[in-house]
Amino acid sequence: MEILHVSAECYPMAKAGGLGDVLGALPKYQEQAGHTVKVIIPMYRTRYLYRKEWELVHEGRQQVGFYSFSYSVIRERSRELGFDLYLLDINGLLDRQEIYGYEDDPQRFLAFQVSVLDWVSQWSHRPDVIHTHDHHTGLIPFMMKYAYAFRDRLQHIPSVFTIHNAQYQGWLGWQHREWLPAHDEWKSGLIEWNDQINPLAAAVKSAWRVTTVSPSYLDEIRQRSNGLEKLFEYEKGKCLGILNGIDADVWNPVTDPLLVTNYGIETITAGKMANKLALCKQFGLDATRPLIVYIGRLVHEKAADLLPEAFYQCLQHFGGRLNILLLGSGDPGLQTTFKEMSNRYVGSFSAYIGYYEELSHRMYAGADFLLMPSRVEPCGLNQLYALRYGTVPMVRKTGGLRDTVTDMGDPGGFGICFDQASVGDMVHAVGRALELYESDRVRLLGMQEYMMGFDHSWDRSALQYLQLYKSIL
Ligand code: ADP
């Protein structure tokens, strides 16, 4: 099969979160299973762009409303990622430092989608499947079927749409519908939800199949999905939950070049301690105490707003018995609060505000516990990385966290789970972690060895996607 993935992120070229990780790994595993896989994302000005050699494969012209532009498609020459990575460049519109966060993001991603379809419709052959991801590429399944410029060539290609996060839907005022290429107006209901253009809803209605990144998340979005609950109920027949995997080559403590010391199951205690010592030294923490970390976006869905009060209470109740280290960026108020807390609780609490890939690896390795109190977690990759690095996940039972972590009180359990995204539940979970660390090291070691033996690589999930494609070919 020939599969084309269209996305806004792909690690290591561009990553803001789990979407980037998935697009950096799933295509590689699909290639290893014997298929031809191509990924196209916008050409941002990231470090990876300047480090690699690229070749021009296509040039074209398109327009969004009255804005007419030329675009080009380039391909990474060495194929070092294990699949073909293509970048689509639109001067002044896509070639920016950041992936998201610009006022004109709706136009940027619409221009990207239209250009991708223009490019694909000029291939001498057709891909077997076009797989799009999240709202940034959500209008593609609709345009393949109903935009006059593309439908002759593309309407019969099966489209799959994966929801990595249903909270963000790419809403656009209805008055902007002339930005879309000319299309069958009788079908314009497919792009509408609550009097707006809703690219996520458009994809759910128009794609041949829809997947979510964990089975539990598929159940949850029928109850809570930022206004789309009824749509997911109605379309449940074409939806399937497929759990994300991890790239076991990149996330491997035995070989990870970003670690201070590499380690495996046999060397877990010494290996983790060496990484912990380095981290604690860097952040002025005490390596004799347990190290609890948080890594992630500082946003409401991750319950980051509850962290200051939870950390404050932990430091009050358990002060002198633990370290907390946070890596994240997002809400400016929270960023300031965490910086202040770092100054106030020197020796017990520290925070690195920003995005720092290398540090995240060292934290998964050096930490004893990883806290994820998410309100919403479509899959969550952090807990899977934590498992691979022998770090006990402390998670709220929701979405993919529910599917991948079992509480240590349950048969075969290896993590610490709690029900509510609340300060009380978090403080209680930290109390359980301390008790385990201080009073039952043998059990802790047993849990670490057990979790490091799990196979959460993409092998199984990549197969599920391939089966899904085959079912619609
Ligand atoms: P989401 O995509 O909702 O942010 P996921 O758990 O699916 O959450 O994926 C988060 C990914 O982003 C993980 O690879 C995590 O290590 C990484 N990450 C999040 N915040 C940061 C940060 N500040 N620095 C480095 N990596 C980060």
CB-ligand 1 contact for 381 (6 Å cutoff): yes
Give the pLDDT confidence score for residue 88 in this predicted structure. Answer: 98
CB-ligand 1 contact for 82 (6 Å cutoff): no
CATH, range 265-452 = 3.40.50.2000
Centroid of ligand 1 to alpha carbon of 362 (angstroms): 14
Centroid of ligand 1 to alpha carbon of 377 (angstroms): 12
Centroid of ligand 1 to alpha carbon of 17 (angstroms): 4
Give the pLDDT confidence score for residue 426 in this predicted structure. Answer: 98
Pocket test for ligand 1, best of 167, 217, 360 (most atoms within 8 A of CB): 360
Share of the chain above pLDDT 70, in %: 100
Place of tokens 């300047």: 50
CA distance 229 to 226: 7
Q: Kind and range of the H or E element at 336?
A: helix 332-344
Give the confidence band of 331 by pLDDT, cuts at 50, 70, 90. very high
Q: What are the structural domain ranges in the chain?
A: 2-245+458-472, 265-452
Which atom of ligand 1 is found nearest the CA of 382? 6
Q: Do domains 2-245+458-472 and 265-452 have the same CATH topology?
A: yes
**Over residues 41-53, mean pLDDT:** 98
Report the relative pairing of strands 196-197 and 323-330 from DSSP bridges: unpaired
- Are 315 and 349 in contact, with CB atoms under 8 Å apart? yes
Phi (first) and psi of residue 315, to 5 degrees: -65, -30
Give the pLDDT confidence score for residue 199 in this predicted structure. Answer: 98
Nearest CA to ligand 1 atom 9: 18
Nearest CA to ligand 1 atom 20: 296
CB-ligand 1 contact for 358 (6 Å cutoff): no
Give the pLDDT confidence score for residue 319 in this predicted structure. Answer: 79
* pLDDT tens readout for residues 351-373: 999 999 999 999 999 999 999 99
pLDDT at 304 over 90: yes
Largest CA distance in the chain: 68
Measure the CA dihedral 267/270/271/277, to 10°: 170
Centroid of ligand 1 to alpha carbon of 11 (angstroms): 12
Give the pLDDT confidence score for residue 366 in this predicted structure. Answer: 98
Centroid of ligand 1 to alpha carbon of 356 (angstroms): 10
Place of tokens 């990149």: 250
Q: Look over the chain and give the mean of its residue pLDDT values, rounded to a whole number.
A: 97
Give every CB contact of residue 197 below 8 A, 6+ residues apart in sequence.
171, 172, 173, 174, 176, 177, 180, 191
Pocket test for ligand 1, best of 100, 135, 355 (most atoms within 8 A of CB): 355
CB atoms within 10 A of CB 188: 16
CB-ligand 1 contact for 356 (6 Å cutoff): yes
Nearest CA to ligand 1 atom 22: 355
Centroid of ligand 1 to alpha carbon of 70 (angstroms): 33
pLDDT at 389 over 90: yes
Give the confidence band of 451 by pLDDT, cuts at 50, 70, 90. very high
pLDDT at 444 over 90: yes
CA distance 197 to 414: 44
* pLDDT tens readout for residues 101-124: 999 999 999 999 999 999 999 999
- Are 392 and 433 in contact, with CB atoms under 8 Å apart? yes
Centroid of ligand 1 to alpha carbon of 283 (angstroms): 20
Superfamily of chain region 2-245+458-472: Glycogen Phosphorylase B; (3.40.50.2000)
Which atom of ligand 1 is found nearest the CA of 15? 12
* Residues forming beta bridges with residue 352, ordered by sequence position: 327
Give the pLDDT confidence score for residue 176 in this predicted structure. Answer: 95
Nearest CA to ligand 1 atom 4: 17
Nearest CA to ligand 1 atom 8: 18
CB-ligand 1 contact for 382 (6 Å cutoff): yes
Which atom of ligand 1 is found nearest the CA of 16? 12
And the tokens for 296? 């992630």
**Over residues 36-40, mean pLDDT:** 98
- Are 386 and 357 in contact, with CB atoms under 8 Å apart? no
* Residues forming beta bridges with residue 415, ordered by sequence position: 407
Which atom of ligand 1 is found nearest the CA of 364? 16
Give the pLDDT confidence score for residue 397 in this predicted structure. Answer: 97
